[in-house]
Amino acid sequence: MANLPKSFCETAGLADNSTVSNLLEQLSARQNDALDGLLTSEDSQLAVSVSLENLHKYRLRIEDQVGPWQFKFCSVNVENHSDPVLVGLISDAPIGGLPTELENLVFWALIDVNLPWHQSICIDIADPHYVDWRSLAKGKAIIAEPCALNLNSTSQQLISALFGLSYPSMPPTPFPGPIISSATSLKIDFQLDRLTAIQSQLLLEASYVQHPKWRFLSFYRILENAYLSNIKEVLLSEFDTDASKAIESAKGKLASEVNQLVHLAERGDITTEFEVFNNEVDGLISAGNQYTIALDRAAKSESLYNAREPYKKAVLRFYKVRCSIAHAGTSSVIYEQFLDANSAILKLLPLVEAIALKSLKITSV
Mind giving me the DSSP string for 26-49? HHHTTS--TTTTTT-SHHHHHHHH
Would you say residue 172 lies in a domain? Answer: no
Identify whether the C-beta of residue 142 lies closer than 8 Å to the C-beta of residue 87. yes
DSSP state of 363: E
Would you say residue 251 lies in a domain? Answer: yes
Would you say residue 1 lies in a domain? Answer: no
Last residue of a domain, one of 121, 148, 163: 163
Would you say residue 341 lies in a domain? Answer: yes
Same domain, 37 and 140: yes
Residue 275 and residue 311: Cα distance in Å, rounded? 5
Same domain, 24 and 118: yes
Q: Is the pTM of this model over 0.85?
A: no
Would you say residue 177 lies in a domain? Answer: no
Would you say residue 248 lies in a domain? Answer: yes
Cα→Cα distances 182→152, 252, 344, 350, 364, Å: 41, 38, 19, 10, 9
In this prediction, residue 86 carries a pLDDT of 94
Last residue of a domain, one of 163, 198, 224: 163
Same domain, 11 and 157: yes
Domain count, the chain: 2
Same domain, 16 and 82: yes
Would you say residue 168 lies in a domain? Answer: no
Same domain, 206 and 146: no
In this prediction, residue 255 carries a pLDDT of 44
Same domain, 212 and 137: no
Same domain, 157 and 199: no
Write out the residue range of the structural domain in which residue 290 sits. Answer: 186-364
Residue 175 and residue 302: Cα distance in Å, rounded? 33
Residue 56 and residue 306: Cα distance in Å, rounded? 61
The pLDDT profile of the chain, 365 residues, written as one tens digit per residue, is 567 777 777 767 778 887 877 777 777 766 556 677 788 788 888 888 898 889 899 999 999 998 788 999 999 998 888 999 999 999 988 777 789 999 999 989 988 888 888 766 644 445 555 677 888 899 999 999 999 988 887 788 888 888 888 876 565 666 677 788 777 788 888 887 878 888 888 888 888 888 899 999 999 999 988 766 655 554 445 555 655 554 555 445 444 678 888 988 998 899 999 999 999 999 999 999 999 999 999 999 999 999 999 999 999 999 999 999 998 776 689 998 998 999 999 999 999 999 999 998 899 87
Q: How many CA atoms lie within 13 A of 168 on its CB side?
A: 16
Same domain, 126 and 228: no
Residue 162 and residue 229: Cα distance in Å, rounded? 39
Could you give phi then psi for residue 346, rounded to 5 degrees?
Answer: -60, -35
Q: SS3 for 184? A: coil
Same domain, 331 and 253: yes
Q: Which amino acid is at 94?
A: P
Same domain, 83 and 219: no
In this prediction, residue 68 carries a pLDDT of 82
Same domain, 153 and 261: no
Residue 275 and residue 351: Cα distance in Å, rounded? 10
Q: How many CB atoms lie under 10 A from the CB of residue 91?
A: 16
Would you say residue 23 lies in a domain? Answer: yes
Same domain, 217 and 336: yes
Residue 107 and residue 230: Cα distance in Å, rounded? 61
